[in-house]
Amino acid sequence: MGEENKIYISYNHIHKMCQDIAPKIKEFKPDLMIAIGGGGFIPARMLRTCLKEAGKPTLRIYAIILSLYEDLGTVSTAEEAPGVQVKRVQWIDYDQSGVDLINKNVLIIDEVDDTRKTLHYALSELEKDLAKQCKEKGGDPKNTKFGVFVCHNKLKEKKNNYQTISHKRVDISQKMFQILGFVILGKLMILNIIKKCANCKVMIYKKQGTSS
């Protein structure tokens, strides 16, 4: 990729974006945050500060690490390409941390939505954990909601495709960005995407057959 085609996003841009999206995420009322490492750790920490409310406990951040990208071994750059399968490197130790997903609003955070394989894997595995916990402890998986916040969307074919149902324009720091939210598997997802473009909009997506 040529230098002229690269888009550089500063720390302040990410921090401003977290501040701007925080009121919307507060409507989701997250009980805990799950950051996908390593890229999701910094925005997760920023968001936790933005979501902090006086007199209430600070949201706990739980880290998971998934491997999908592979070094292409090029000489000139440390270029990476998406791998075929997601590998679990680190996951939540529910017993040690004393947490479960039952009756929780869970906010998942990552820095990029590329092929959506990583997010799809994370959500699928968390749903399996939830089903197991509900079976062991009692509870209804439908009472748990998962939200997702990411910082950058790559415009390419995704693991899941969504249907636009509403939109509006947005301008952040004198540059045009795209902010996206969608519903998947009948659960609320809050997904914040930044992508420099000429005519970007805020879009709400839903999977066909689900209700908003």
Which residues are the active-site residues?
A: 114
User: Alpha-carbon distance 140 to 154, whole Å?
Assistant: 35
Taking residue 164's Cβ as centre, other Cβ atoms within 10 Å add up to: 12
Taking residue 169's Cβ as centre, other Cβ atoms within 10 Å add up to: 9
HSE at residue 199, side-chain half, CA atoms within 13 A, is 0
Tokens of 119: 């997010």
User: Alpha-carbon distance 51 to 94, whole Å?
Assistant: 24
Taking residue 199's Cβ as centre, other Cβ atoms within 10 Å add up to: 7
